């Protein structure tokens, strides 16, 4: 059994929670396994945001509801967190941040950062003091922590760096050991692992997939990918352009693929809801494209900074008319890399739109990921030099025609959003219409040659089979690894098209339990009509939070009994 310590830092937007999170994660990883996640309000300043740091002696991937140690960094955050606090929770912060009533109910350790930072000389040092305090609390190596401060502040003046190191010591020395906070056996992650968040993993995956063009319009929580790729643009030769709107973004991406680039549009559900027509354009012109949908709770503006898996249906059916598409849903950090890479390969190979579905929780959580070497194979270009008689939509036994690009070869690349003949010119011939429609739709089967297989986690003998896709991976994998009942977990990475390879897993189960972060069970519905398999139970959550391990324990226990 795992031992974990869940530390939550609660403050307001603008207090720099994200910086402490990074410092802590970077330092903790040398001594423990660690997983972090955050929840923030849709505002730039004020409100109440939290960062959760889970420390363990084994790998951890799941959001925890129950808080062991709660740092209150401002006044009005406690009420919102009440449900996550229990008898044994230790609350640390300025005395005034907790009401007298609550002080009677909970253990509180006073930590007056305002005063301490005055001592340190500047209120800006509060975060470093806190870092020192926590470092002592969980027995981190001070030399490593100092190194982290130095490297993160390397652009600052030496005296400021020194002052921060002093502030760190101040916090470190201020902490008094107490038995109230449990100790976790040290056990750091292996050398071939690294800490990374979903946004970075996916962005690097895209680079590995040859992504060299990005057109997007900012939208939380998808903007991180845009920002990461902007930062790497020059080094990796990626043309990044902020589009005037999402419609322009996807049309630009399609134009880029037409010209031989590998383009990406990153957006969220609301932005994608504007891209349907362009998706359909990719469909009929057989011009590939890759779209990243970072899900957040809808409808409409909904909860802009929260998490949900509510846009699977939209990804499945967006665009008018009928055409094939591929939908990938990484839930594990490695898969964000791998599928981020493979998306571009699949788009190029099959000349179809490929959608990568993630969500706020997945993108903004940091966890450990096994290092890897990307395969060259996925960089293979499927573009060919054209001959003078080149026909863009040549019909043959194989539904994928040779794709040329303008400027390379002796043929013309003629592409039409109207129904067209082999030469790309528009036609109204009934028979050609049917041939072209059949050609396009035939790819749906072909795509399954490259089906990204699901992972069965847990024993291959089971009564209950949990089905999850995307970001529920972490919590479900933790559940299954720890649970003793006859329950395994089928982690689906490619949600569309689904392969009949899944059927043996599904048929074996006595009870199929679909776990989804939405209100209606969109994947369960897909499973029903597409593979003719009915989920017996749907475990759904749609308040804007991810599933916590505690909730999953409770609800799966109920479901499997």
Ligand X SMILES: Cc1ncc(C[n+]2csc(CCOP(=O)(O)OP(=O)(O)O)c2C)c(N)n1
- Applying CB under 6 A, the residues found at the interface with ligand X are 217-219, 246, 270-271, 274, 301
- Parallel, antiparallel, or unpaired: how do β-strands 46-56 and 107-110 relate? unpaired
Which one among 113, 167, 181, 240 touches other proteins, defined by CB under 8 A?
Answer: 240
Contact between 270 and its own copies per CB under 8 A = yes
Which one among 71, 213, 323, 479 touches its own copies, defined by CB under 8 A?
Answer: 323
Range 517-546, binding its own copies (CB under 8 A): 518-520, 525-526, 528-529, 532, 534, 542-545
End-to-end CA distance of the chain: give it in Å, rounded. Answer: 22
Choose between 251 and 488: whose C-beta lies nearer to ligand X: 251
Which one among 44, 179, 185, 300 touches ligand SF4, defined by CB under 6 A?
Answer: 44
Encoded tokens for 94: 């300025």
Least Cβ distance, residue 151 to other proteins (angstroms): 13
Cis peptide before 242 (omega within 30 of 0): no
Least Cβ distance, residue 44 to ligand SF4 (angstroms): 4
405 binds, among other proteins, ligand SF4, its own copies, none (CB under 5 to 8 A by kind): other proteins
Contact between 276 and its own copies per CB under 8 A = yes
Closest CA to 526 of 476, 469, 481: 469
212 binds, among its own copies, ligand SF4, other proteins, none (CB under 5 to 8 A by kind): other proteins
Which one among 42, 102, 152, 401 touches other proteins, defined by CB under 8 A?
Answer: 42
Choose between 217 and 523: whose C-beta lies nearer to ligand X: 217
Choose between 85 and 243: whose C-beta lies nearer to ligand X: 243
105 binds, among ligand X, other proteins, its own copies, none (CB under 5 to 8 A by kind): none
Contact between 304 and its own copies per CB under 8 A = yes
Decide: 31 and 140 in contact? Cβ < 8 Å. Answer: yes
Rounded to the nearest 5°, which phi and psi values hold at 167?
A: -60, -40
279 burial (CB, 10 Å; 0-12 / 13-18 / 19+) is buried
Distance set, CA 424 to CA 302, 489, 507 (Å): 42, 46, 45
Only one of the segments 123-131, 357-365, 410-418, 488-496 lies at the binding site for its own copies (rule: CB under 8 A); that segment is 410-418
219 binds, among its own copies, ligand X, ligand SF4, none (CB under 5 to 8 A by kind): ligand X
Taking CB under 6 A as the rule, which mask of x and - marks residues 52-91 in contact with ligand SF4? ----------------------------------------
Decide: 296 and 305 in contact? Cβ < 8 Å. Answer: yes
Contact between 227 and other proteins per CB under 8 A = yes
Q: How far is CA 212 from the centre of its chain?
A: 21
Encoded tokens for 63: 């959001």
Encoded tokens for 281: 């354009």
**How many other CB atoms are found less than 10 A from the CB of residue 435?**
15
Q: Which H helix or E strand runs over 42? A: none
323 binds, among its own copies, other proteins, ligand X, none (CB under 5 to 8 A by kind): its own copies
Decide: 539 and 515 in contact? Cβ < 8 Å. Answer: yes
**DSSP string covering 476-532:** HHHHHHH--SSEEEEEESEEESPPGGGHHHHHH-SEEEEEESSSS-HHHHHHHHHH-
**How many other CB atoms are found less than 10 A from the CB of residue 47?**
18
Report how far residue 248's alpha carbon sits from residue 283's, in angstroms, rounded to the nearest whole number: 17
Contact between 244 and its own copies per CB under 8 A = no
Unique residue bearing structure tokens 């094939």: 324
Decide: 55 and 184 in contact? Cβ < 8 Å. Answer: yes
Report how far residue 229's alpha carbon sits from residue 211's, in angstroms, rounded to the nearest whole number: 9
**DSSP string covering 70-114:** EEE-SGGGHHHHGGGEEEEEEEEE-GGGS-HHHHHHSEEEE--HH
Which one among 194, 481, 508, 511 touches other proteins, defined by CB under 8 A?
Answer: 194
DSSP assignment letter at 376: G
**DSSP string covering 152-168:** HTTTS-HHHHHHHHHHH
Residue 292 β-bridge partners: 266, 356
311 binds, among its own copies, other proteins, ligand SF4, none (CB under 5 to 8 A by kind): its own copies
Report how far residue 474's alpha carbon sits from residue 186's, in angstroms, rounded to the nearest whole number: 22
Choose between 34 and 214: whose C-beta lies nearer to ligand X: 214
Contact between 1 and ligand SF4 per CB under 6 A = no
The region that residue 137 occupies, defined by phi over 0 for left and psi between -120 and 50 for alpha, beta otherwise, is alpha
Which one among 256, 327, 352, 559 touches other proteins, defined by CB under 8 A?
Answer: 256
Contact between 274 and its own copies per CB under 8 A = yes
- # chain residues binding ligand SF4, by CB under 6 A: 2
Which one among 54, 60, 109, 261 touches other proteins, defined by CB under 8 A?
Answer: 261
437 binds, among ligand X, ligand SF4, its own copies, none (CB under 5 to 8 A by kind): its own copies
Taking CB under 6 A as the rule, which mask of x and - marks residues 249-288 in contact with ligand SF4? ----------------------------------------
Which one among 81, 227, 233, 303 touches its own copies, defined by CB under 8 A?
Answer: 303
Unique residue bearing structure tokens 């383009």: 263
Contact between 408 and other proteins per CB under 8 A = yes
Report how far residue 262's alpha carbon sits from residue 260's, in angstroms, rounded to the nearest whole number: 7
Choose between 144 and 274: whose C-beta lies nearer to ligand X: 274
Contact between 415 and other proteins per CB under 8 A = yes
Only one of the segments 323-331, 358-366, 421-429, 484-492 lies at the binding site for other proteins (rule: CB under 8 A); that segment is 421-429
Only one of the segments 311-319, 365-373, 499-507, 553-561 lies at the binding site for other proteins (rule: CB under 8 A); that segment is 365-373
Interaction site with its own copies (CB under 8 A): 41-42, 47, 247, 268-270, 272-274, 276-277, 279-281, 283-285, 297-304, 306, 308, 310-311, 313-314, 316-323, 416-419, 428, 430-431, 433-434, 437-438, 440-441, 518-520, 525-526, 528-529, 532, 534, 542-545
Interaction site with ligand SF4 (CB under 6 A): 44-45
């Amino acid at each position: 059994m795992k031992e974990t310590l869940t530390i939550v830092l609660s403050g307001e937007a603008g207090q720099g929670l994200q910086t402490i999170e990074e410092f802590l994660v970077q330092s903790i990883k040398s001594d423990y396994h660690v997983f972090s996640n955050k929840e923030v309000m849709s505002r730039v300043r004020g409100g109440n945001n939290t960062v959760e740091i889970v420390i363990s002696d084994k790998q951890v991937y799941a959001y925890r509801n129950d808080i062991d140690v709660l740092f209150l960094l401002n006044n009005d955050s406690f009420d919102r967190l009440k449900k996550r606090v229990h008898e044994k929770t230790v609350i640390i912060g300025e005395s005034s941040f907790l009401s007298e009533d609550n002080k009677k109910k909970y253990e509180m350790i006073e930590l007056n950062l305002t005063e301490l930072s005055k001592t340190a000389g500047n209120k800006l040092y509060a975060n470093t003091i806190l870092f020192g305090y926590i470092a002592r609390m969980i027995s981190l190596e001070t030399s490593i922590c100092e190194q982290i401060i130095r490297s993160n502040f390397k652009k600052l003046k030496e005296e400021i760096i020194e002052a921060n190191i002093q502030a760190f010591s101040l916090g470190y020395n201020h902490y008094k050991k107490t038995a109230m906070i449990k100790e976790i056996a040290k056990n750091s992650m292996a050398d071939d692992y690294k800490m990374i968040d979903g946004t970075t993993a996916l962005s690097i995956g895209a680079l590995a997939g040859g992504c060299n063009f990005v057109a997007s319009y900012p939208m939380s929580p998808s903007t991180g990918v845009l920002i990461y790729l902007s930062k790497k643009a020059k080094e990796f030769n990626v043309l990044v352009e902020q589009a005037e709107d999402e419609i322009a973004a996807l049309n630009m991406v399609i134009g880029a693929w037409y010209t031989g680039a590998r383009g990406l549009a990153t957006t969220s559900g609301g932005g994608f809801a504007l891209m349907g027509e362009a998706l359909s354009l990719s469909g009929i012109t057989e011009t590939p494209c890759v779209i990243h949908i970072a899900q957040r709770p809808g409808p409409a503006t909904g909860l802009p900074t929260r998490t949900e898996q509510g846009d699977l249906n939209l990804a499945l059916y967006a665009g008018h008319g009928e055409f094939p598409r591929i939908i990938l849903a990484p839930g594990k950090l490695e898969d964000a890399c791998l599928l981020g890479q493979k998306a571009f390969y699949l788009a190029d190979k099959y000349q179809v739109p490929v959608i990568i579905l993630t969500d706020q929780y997945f993108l903004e959580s940091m966890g450990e990921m096994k290092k890897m070497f990307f395969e060259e194979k996925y960089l293979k270009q499927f573009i060919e030099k054209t001959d003078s008689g080149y026909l863009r939509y040549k019909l043959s036994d194989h539904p994928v025609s040779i794709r040329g690009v303008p400027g390379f070869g002796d043929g013309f690349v003629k592409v039409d959003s109207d129904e067209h003949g082999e030469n790309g010119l528009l036609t109204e011939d009934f028979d050609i219409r049917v041939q072209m429609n059949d050609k396009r739709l035939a790819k749906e089967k072909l795509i399954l040659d490259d089906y990204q297989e699901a992972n069965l986690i847990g024993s291959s003998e089971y009564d209950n089979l949990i089905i999850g896709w995307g970001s529920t991976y972490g919590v479900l994998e933790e559940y299954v690894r720890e649970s003793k009942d006859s329950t395994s977990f089928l982690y689906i990475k490619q949600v569309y098209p689904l392969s009949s390879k899944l059927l043996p897993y599904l048929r074996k189960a006595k009870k199929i339990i679909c776990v989804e972060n939405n209100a209606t069970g969109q994947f369960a519905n897909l499973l029903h009509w597409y593979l003719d398999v009915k989920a017996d139970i749907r475990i759904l959550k749609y308040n804007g939070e991810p599933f916590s391990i505690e909730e999953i324990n409770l609800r799966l226990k109920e479901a499997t009994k």
